[in-house]
Amino acid sequence: MTIRFEYDGLPIIKTTSGELKGYKYDGIYTYKGIPYAHAKRWQMAELSSWDGVFDATNYGRVAPLMMQDNPKGEMKCPHMYWPQDEDCLSLNIWTKDVNKKKPVMVWIHGGGYFAGSSIEQLAYDGANIAKEDCVCVSLNHRLNILGFLDLEPFGEKYKNSANAGLDDIVKALTWIHNNIEAFGGDPDNVTLFGQSGGGMKISLLMQIPAAEGLFHKAIMMSGIGGNFMPPCPRENGDGTLIVTKMLEKLGLSVNDIDKLETMPYQQVFMAYGQAMPEVVKMGGYVGNNPRIDDYCLGEGNMSEFTNQSKNTPVIIGSVFGEFGGFMPLPFAKHEVSDEIVKHALEERFKENTDELISLFKEAYPNNAIADLLVIDTLFRPLNNQFTKDKAALKQAPVYNYLFNVDFPFDGGSAAWHCSDIPYFFGNIEKAPYTNSIPYAEKLQSEMFGAFLAFAKTGDPNHDGMKHWDPSTETQIHTMLFGKDTHQEINHDEKLMAKLKEVLPELTADMLMTMMDDMNIQH
């Protein structure tokens, strides 16, 4: 069957910002690079407007990064590289038709608070979501020091610059609320979904008063900050010290603050990179993360849940190996002897080995014992705690999941960070590794179907999957997505508790060092 491309004769879409025109491909109306807002450096964005008909056929530029893209690891995480520019506040829309009112799914990309984009991964394409009667939206926002550096002490015009990147998302959600009906979307049925840093941003958006009413359900994938990548607390001070140090590195004084607005980004970033270690040693605020203040109240279970958080249905989950899944084991785990595996475990866990093996077998009877070497101990415990805390409120359901797949790479590879994304997007054809397992189509149907059902109704259950219960404050009902997708209750609680006792707590700095050593994109 021939896939048609259409452009001439398609309707002009009228928005509050102006008129625009996209294209139609394979039955899906596609609108790319829509400028939802514009902003001066370190100032709050304002909703955009334009004259004439905007050409929405090209992706917008992405936010400048603090480091050069690294094309390593493309097999496990296929990427798209795109021009960077500070004028990056754009969004993309996929819809089957522009008349019927449909649920809306808004994708918030990962990359922590410092990297990534709406189109960074090939699997982020929203066409297949649109084919299932949902409108899909993805967006770019300011990152790193452009989106999360506090210059407020230097002038009222910089108010809330420490959370500018989050406010960009709020502006995008405002634009969506005002205009999505013109694309066939329902502004009263909006679901946010995001992975890694995207999940962290969603956990904060639920705690931002300015975002209240702009979305109604939330999906957080491998992404809640906790103590790993938390917003900067109030007690760490403001941006006075770090910005003053940056000015010093540039040979400027505080009277020259305006010059930072027009200076090339790379020059400003280099000054930040020189100043930051000095400020860290002094124990001061260094930015690059959102800041807890009157605008952003911090993660609900780390502070206090807002009404928005309390009343928002949530899906929260992670993958079995996360960052450990990127690291090949020193042996083929399905071929090596039990003795060799035991020796490797003893090297890591010492006298705790036998107890951990026993707990692991109880929690994951179908996994190879060697998987204990790469099991995630970062997101899974954070997710479980959030699940319990939110369930205890008894105001909206919270569903917990774990993606547990053994991929046939390097003698057997546990699911790694990002490996679940193509399945949840219905895009396994865009990531070749997904089809290395014989049950890929079935798994995609289960996972993709769960997200779609949740976006439509607030309940992830559908006919193609075993029943999934919401969790309670004492029982974590985890849907284990994998070869035999099924639900378990509190299955790994004891294991996670023991691993927390035995292993050092993973910090963001430790993770970055580890990934840089392995040339892994982050």
- Condensed to tens digits (0 to 9), the pLDDT of residues 433-460 reads 998 999 999 999 999 999 999 999 999 9
C-alpha 213: how far from chain center: 21
Q: Are residues 107 and 66 in the same domain?
A: yes
**pLDDT, tens digit (0-9, with 9 covering 90-100), for 181-195:** 999 999 999 999 999
What whole-number distance in Å separates Cα of residue 221 and Cα of residue 293?
25
Residues contacting 171, CB < 8 A, separation 6+: 36, 37, 45, 46, 47, 89
Residue 391 lies in a domain: yes
Residue 234 — very low, low, confident or very high, per pLDDT cuts 50/70/90?
confident
Q: Are residues 222 and 326 in the same domain?
A: no
Q: Which of 417, 516, 383 is nearest to 195 (CA)?
A: 417
Per-residue pLDDT for 382 more than 70?
yes
Is residue 205 within 8 Å of residue 192, measured between CB atoms? yes
Tell me the sheet residues that pair with 399. 315
Helix runs in 89-222, H state only? 127-130, 144-147, 164-179, 197-205
Q: Are residues 34 and 105 in the same domain?
A: yes
Q: Where does residue 338 rank: exposed (0-12), middle (13-18), buried (19+ CB within 10 A)?
A: exposed
Per-residue pLDDT for 354 more than 50?
yes
Residue 83 lies in a domain: no
Mean confidence (pLDDT) of the chain: 93
Task: Name the DSSP letter for residue 491.
Answer: T
Q: Count CA atoms within 13 Å of residue 324 on its CB side.
A: 20
Residue 80 lies in a domain: no
In this prediction, residue 510 carries a pLDDT of: 56
Residue 522 lies in a domain: no
Residue 513 — very low, low, confident or very high, per pLDDT cuts 50/70/90?
low
The whole-number average pLDDT for the span 271-293 is: 91
Per-residue pLDDT for 59 more than 90?
yes
Q: Are residues 158 and 20 in the same domain?
A: yes
Per-residue pLDDT for 253 more than 60?
yes
Residue 79 — very low, low, confident or very high, per pLDDT cuts 50/70/90?
confident
The whole-number average pLDDT for the span 395-400 is: 98
Residue 519 — very low, low, confident or very high, per pLDDT cuts 50/70/90?
very low
In this prediction, residue 521 carries a pLDDT of: 45
Q: Which of 20, 26, 21, 18 is nearest to 8 (CA)?
A: 21
The whole-number average pLDDT for the span 158-184 is: 97
CA quadruple 274, 280, 281, 282: dihedral, nearest 10: 110
Percent of the chain with pLDDT over 90: 82
Residue 405 lies in a domain: yes
The whole-number average pLDDT for the span 26-33 is: 97
Per-residue pLDDT for 514 more than 70?
no
Q: Which tokens hold the place of 140?
A: 């770019």
Q: Which of 263, 232, 231 is nearest to 250 (CA)?
A: 263
What whole-number distance in Å separates Cα of residue 446 and Cα of residue 460?
10
The whole-number average pLDDT for the span 273-283 is: 92
Residue 33 lies in a domain: yes
* Boundaries of domain holding 256: 240-282
Beta strand pairing status for 398-403 and 477-481?
parallel
In this prediction, residue 327 carries a pLDDT of: 78
Q: Are residues 257 and 368 in the same domain?
A: no
What whole-number distance in Å separates Cα of residue 500 and Cα of residue 175?
43
Task: Name the DSSP letter for residue 162.
Answer: G
Give the N- to C-terminal CA distance of the chain in Å, as an integer.
Answer: 39
Q: Where does residue 97 rank: exposed (0-12), middle (13-18), buried (19+ CB within 10 A)?
A: middle
For helices 353-363 and 338-349, give the axis angle rounded to 10 degrees: 110
Q: Are residues 165 and 24 in the same domain?
A: yes
Q: Look at the chain and report how many structural domains it folds into.
A: 3
CA quadruple 302, 308, 309, 315: dihedral, nearest 10: -150
The whole-number average pLDDT for the span 96-110 is: 95
In this prediction, residue 226 carries a pLDDT of: 76
Q: Are residues 202 and 345 in the same domain?
A: no
In this prediction, residue 80 carries a pLDDT of: 84
Residue 209 lies in a domain: yes
User: Quick check: helix, strand or coil at residue 193?
Assistant: strand
> What are the b/e assignments for 117-156, b being 16+ CB within 10 Å?
bbbbbbbbbbbbbbbbbbbbbbbbbbbbbbbbbbbbebee
Q: Are residues 353 and 409 in the same domain?
A: yes
Q: Are residues 334 and 450 in the same domain?
A: yes
In this prediction, residue 522 carries a pLDDT of: 42
**pLDDT, tens digit (0-9, with 9 covering 90-100), for 298-326:** 988 777 899 999 999 999 999 999 988 77
The residue among 75 and 372 whose pLDDT is bigger is: 372
Residue 204 — very low, low, confident or very high, per pLDDT cuts 50/70/90?
very high
What whole-number distance in Å separates Cα of residue 140 and Cα of residue 109?
8
What residue ranges in 140-292 does DSSP mark as E strands?
A: 185-195, 217-221
In this prediction, residue 512 carries a pLDDT of: 55
Q: How far is CA 494 from CA 345, 379, 445, 469, in A?
A: 18, 16, 31, 21
Q: Which tokens hold the place of 20?
A: 């625009």
Residue 84 lies in a domain: no
What residue ranges in 256-306 does DSSP mark as E strands?
A: none
Q: Are residues 205 and 335 in the same domain?
A: no
Q: Are residues 213 and 175 in the same domain?
A: yes
Q: Are residues 270 and 394 in the same domain?
A: no
Q: What is the CATH number of the domain that holds 17?
A: 3.40.50.1820
pTM strictly above 0.85:
yes
